[in-house]
Amino acid sequence: MGARGSLARQLLVWQLVVVTCLLCAVGVLAVVQAGSNFRTTEGRRALSVAESVAAQGVVGDLENGPFELNAPAETARSLSGVDFVVIAGADRSVLASPDPGQLRTRLDIGESTVLLGRSWVGELDGSIVAHVPVLDEKGGKVVRMVAAGSKSPGFFAGVLDSPDNALRVLGVALVIGVSGSLLLARRVKNQTLGLEPHEITALVENREALLHGIKEGVVGLDPQHRITLVNDQARELLALPDDAVGRSVEDLDLNERIRDLLTGRATGADQIVLRQGKVLTLNRMPIDVRGAVVTLRDRTDLMTLRDELDASRHATDTLRAQAHEFSNRLHTISGLLELGEYDEVRGYVSRISSAQGEWRAEVGSRIGDPAVAALLIAKASLAAERGVGLRMAPDSELDRAEEGLSTDLVTVLGNLVDNALDALGGERGWIEVGVWQEEDEVRVEVRDSGPGVAPEIAEEVFEHGFTTKAAAHGQRGLGLALIRQACVRRGGSVEVHNSGGAVFTARLPR
């Protein structure tokens, strides 16, 4: 715990300070109230005493001097319990007083209305005083006055006069306050899982360092799908605004696929989404009733590496197909030679050379980019092995492209042809490839004789980035994700429609 003390102890100390301040405030109010009650009670008693003395005939007889007046004044004082009863003349000279030194002096009446013939009660020189006039027989002239009163108690005198009640009230309040403080400290400690303030601070600092230090994106969501936390990587991957924290997922500029995964409407591990040309993998982990945590990873580099591996695999498959095709032709030639069909051998070799030469000549005359031309020549052998005819659109034309565009064209064409082969599903058919060079872009179109793409997923196949059951044949989704990534990265687009089969059109700005 150290010198700072535990959280429960600090809370208890502060609560006790608050309780003490409240008790002091209550005590002050009690003292003030007691003083107010004392002034009211003593003022009434003093007025009653003064009126009783003023009503005695001996006081109103002007023939009576101090000796005759002192007896009724002292009797009234001793019987009533007031501190003093003073009788003065109309000129305010004191005629009777418990203090002999006050005789013949002038009585201080302050703002009293006694000389006007009206009784008065108030505070004067620290005492609660009542002044009552003594009128002549006609009742119109003040001949004498009677003052009775008691000294005001000290600040705590009212409390000390009844210490049992005061201590009882303060004790009950103290017990309630301390008990409440202990319960509050215990509850707060339970809610903080027993962590002390410095431990909570360290935990928050470590969490911030962890969230902003990892390469994976992390997004926290509450049960209402509002973002509660987001680290720098997630903000960059999802292109979130600076004020994303506290906003609902539905209010952010995200595509429907990402919103479904963040809110839990779509489930599954390692779900692939596309966001501004990047291929992302999302995983959502619900946290009881507190919401969920979503982690994101950038798979763009991984997809690029996979594309390169696929290119190597496709090259190997093409070489294998060519070797297989070459082996079959050699077996055919060998058989014809053994049968002595020399003329047939010459015709067979001529036909093979003519067919291969025509395709190479067509590709070479229309496609000026060596990488794209080599890809189409290699894909022809792979298609022939599967019983699929590969042909080129009659008006296709492409000059040598710059290095970056050439690489993207190979990626787009290779994946589109592979997707078309998968769509045919091993059945005989045809694939037509068209490449057109325009002023500011290159347009690629690949159509096949397959079943086409279901209209309801024509856009979804690109957004999801993975195959669906409605896609029917093969793993088409990752290839399409790479195609779209290449197009979007260059500021282009890719789309699909059906026309006797699937027709994919990709546009890549130069």
d(CA 408, CA 419): 16
Q: Is the pTM above the cut of 0.85?
A: no
Measured from the Cβ of residue 77, the count of other Cβ atoms closer than 10 Å reads: 19
In this prediction, residue 183 carries a pLDDT of 75
d(CA 179, CA 122): 45
Contact between 498 and 455 under an 8 Å Cβ cutoff? The reply is yes
d(CA 125, CA 120): 15
Strands (E), 116-256: 120-124, 127-135, 142-151, 217-221, 227-230
d(CA 94, CA 91): 9
Contact between 36 and 49 under an 8 Å Cβ cutoff? The reply is no
Q: What is the pLDDT of residues 180-200, one digit of tens each?
A: 777 777 777 776 666 666 666
| Full DSSP string of 380-413 | HHHHHHTTEEEEE-TT-BB-PPPHHHHHHHHHHH
d(CA 453, CA 82): 110
Per-range mean pLDDT, top range of 1-15, 135-149, 183-197 = 135-149
Identify which of 348, 395, 396, 346 has the alpha carbon closest to the alpha carbon of residue 376: 396
Coil, strand or helix: which one is 457? Answer: helix
Rg of the chain, C-alpha, whole Å: 53
Q: What is the pLDDT of residues 227-280, one digit of tens each?
A: 888 888 888 788 888 888 888 888 888 888 888 888 888 888 878 777 776 778
Q: What are phi and psi of 64, to 5 degrees?
A: -80, 135
pLDDT band at 159 (very low <50, low <70, confident <90, very high): low
Amino acid at 182: L
pLDDT band at 463 (very low <50, low <70, confident <90, very high): low
- Give the bridge partners for 293, in sequence order: 220, 285
